[in-house]
A and B are shown apart, each in its own frame.
Chain A
Amino acid sequence: MAQIFHHSTNVLSRLSIYGGVFIVALLGAALYAIELSPWYTDVHVSREQPVPFSHKHHAGELGIDCRYCHTSVEKSSFAGVPPTQTCMTCHSQIWTNSAMLEPVRASYRDDKSISWTRVNALPDFVYFDHSIHVSKGIGCTTCHGQIAEMPLTYRAGTLYMSWCLDCHRQPEKYVRPKSQVFNPNYQVPANQEQLGRELVKEYKIQSLQNCSVCHR
């Protein structure tokens, strides 16, 4: 009787058998790639803001201290986003009629908050505290990246748990002298490894990795 299958099916069947293995592997790899892609993590993706505020200009060129605006960074879990008032301390004097700043003036005028788009967001079940990190010699730029070179602010790290753990497991890789914490242009020294180890000792930095440090 006639053949049911064309003999090319042999090749196909063999291919599909071997192929199956690779396809599964590829799929996994693809998922992982997506999870690390900027599209998913928003790393280096600068956000639209009501006012195109430039950290490059303020922190970099003008050299305004981080704490001038982010007032509660040393006292609280929340670094603090400046109230309109803070903007107006200067901008009631300079650039008073620039169109770009109209939203700020409007906010101050009608007592309506500016609603900024959040750049660095953590899930609700993660409890991060700024104050303890800065007080233990973790610099702003360590997590927030070269903020002094960001015309529009973007997320510098994935903010994944692994990203946190990387530092929590080896703080010496990132810790810097307390004096340098708020220096946006701090350069990691060549002897970081050894300097880091000393600082870790000096600042009594614990490598906290248990769950309830961040989750509760």
Chain B
Amino acid sequence: MDPESSQNIGHAREAPVLEPGHTLATVTDKISSIVLGRGTTKGWIIGFGISFALLMLLNVAVTYLLVKGVGIWGIRIPIAWGFAIVNFVWWIGIGHAGTLISAILLLLHQKWRTSINRFAEAMTIFAVACAGMFPLLHMGRPWMFYYLMPYPNPMWMWPQFRSPLVWDVFAVSTYATVSLLFWFVGMIPDLATLRDRAKNRAAQVIYGFLAMGWRGSAVHWSRYETASLLLAGLATPLVVSVHTVVSFDFSVAIVPGWHSTIFPPYFVAGAIYSGFAMVITLAIPIRKFYHLEDLVTMRHLDNMAKVMLATGVIVAYGYMMETFMAFYSGNQFDRYMIMNRMTGPYAWVYWLLIACNIVIPQVLWSRKVRNNIPMLFIVALVVNVGMWLERFVIVVVSLHRDYIPSAWGTYIPTRWDWATYVGTIGLFLTLFYLFIRFLPMISIVEMRSLVEETNEESRNK
């Protein structure tokens, strides 16, 4: 973590993590009213409508895929992995920010995380949902997916445990489960609050059901604290492990451009990089439309920007080492691979990626930019794109020219590739819209605990 931000918690010149003047009641009102108070807004309906349309597009794409086979995509020999895997890695990466914020920052007692961790976690789960689809869909015979799982069967066959894809199955499914639990457990007290504040019967029943009979007794609270701490402890290693395993899919193979020991660290860094970019991309509009400026303050945006900057630099280092090693190793295939990346048919993708992930984000060094919301928003978007391109370069550009020149090929994504990709974005947004509409997007409980401190601070001034 970037040390600066942690030192300056509550330091006068820093923007506070919660604008002063809030009482327990105001905070609770503000957040719960989004769900219970004023009903569905026009903006929400439009946004939801669009994302739902995209989700339907995903339906069509997937149906057609199941009917015809993966041939509807641009994949071919030698580029047997295309958009599907690119998107998988991209989404999984995005997920990481949520876990990082909710787990690691919790253990590091970073106060500023509280107002963003809830929807960061939600983002994680939705991202993992999108990511999870791809490994299934990209299979030639998706209905045989259960062959990848160890289960007793009359064939006496097991999965092949030397294959990183099998590790993936475990890594991703564990990740999904833990994140989901963490998110839900954290939400229980708030669900109870909503249950109690809900006016109509249906809402009461539903929230009540989800609240699992939370009464806020001391026992409940202590259980709650232990549970979330344990889950945080569980989730923390996952932040590192999941994307490490994902990076094995590549680094274990012998394809020039994949077979590289630096992959695990720089995949993890990249994941957090893209994750925070996504959190910012989501936080800025939400905070605007739901007037949460004083809950999600400049302080949050500033810190997240710093995290992006830090991880971005690590990623840049990764690229550098890759290039350096290719030449230093003297391996002619690696050399050709790098040269091909920089000058080959897909050179433009590579240079665009360098621009998006390395050059542009450097503006974040300046506090002005970090505090300029539109600028920050744009940079975040750029990084999102950049990180997608990175995966494209790794997967496609490495494959399209490997060892045997006669087998070289070019990859051109088809409309179905795009439909599936855009479709998952639709899925992600649909889920997210439902989330902000029906669940407390900011942890009421934790915000309450902040109220006192901030009032302290303001009194001291």
A residues near B (Cβ < 8 Å) are 4-5, 9-10, 13, 28, 32, 35-36, 158, 160-163, 165
Contact = CB atoms under 8 A, between A and B. Distances in A.
B152 interface: yes
B156 A161 contact: yes
A61 B257 CA distance: 72
Given A9-B213, A28-B151, 16 more contacts: A4-B195, A4-B201, A4-B205, A4-B208, A5-B208, A32-B152, A35-B154, A36-B154, A160-B154, A161-B154, A161-B156, A161-B157, A162-B154, A162-B156, A163-B154, A165-B156
Nearest to A28: B151
Determine chain A's interface SS by DSSP, over half rule: helix
A158 B213 CA distance: 51
Contacts of A163: 154
7 contacts: A4-B195, A4-B201, A5-B205, A160-B154, A160-B155, A161-B155, A162-B155
A163 B195 CA distance: 57
A173 to B, nearest CB: 16
Interface residues of B, number: 13
Contacts of B156: 161-162, 165
Nearest to A9: B213
A208 B258 CA distance: 36
A13 B154 contact: no
Interface of B: 151-152, 154-157, 195, 201, 204-205, 208, 212-213
A69 to B, nearest CB: 31
B206 to A, nearest CB: 10
B322 to A, nearest CB: 38
Contacts of A5: 205, 208, 213
A32 B359 CA distance: 57
A162 B83 CA distance: 38
Contacts of A36: 154
Contacts of A161: 154-157
B213 A13 contact: yes
A10 B215 CA distance: 13
B458 to A, nearest CB: 35
A144 B151 CA distance: 29
A10 B213 contact: yes
Contacts of A160: 154-155
A7 B343 CA distance: 71
A163 B205 CA distance: 53
Contacts of A32: 152
A35 B152 CA distance: 12
Contacts of A10: 213
Contacts of B212: 13
B140 to A, nearest CB: 15
A163 B154 CA distance: 8
A4 B154 contact: no
A158 B154 contact: yes
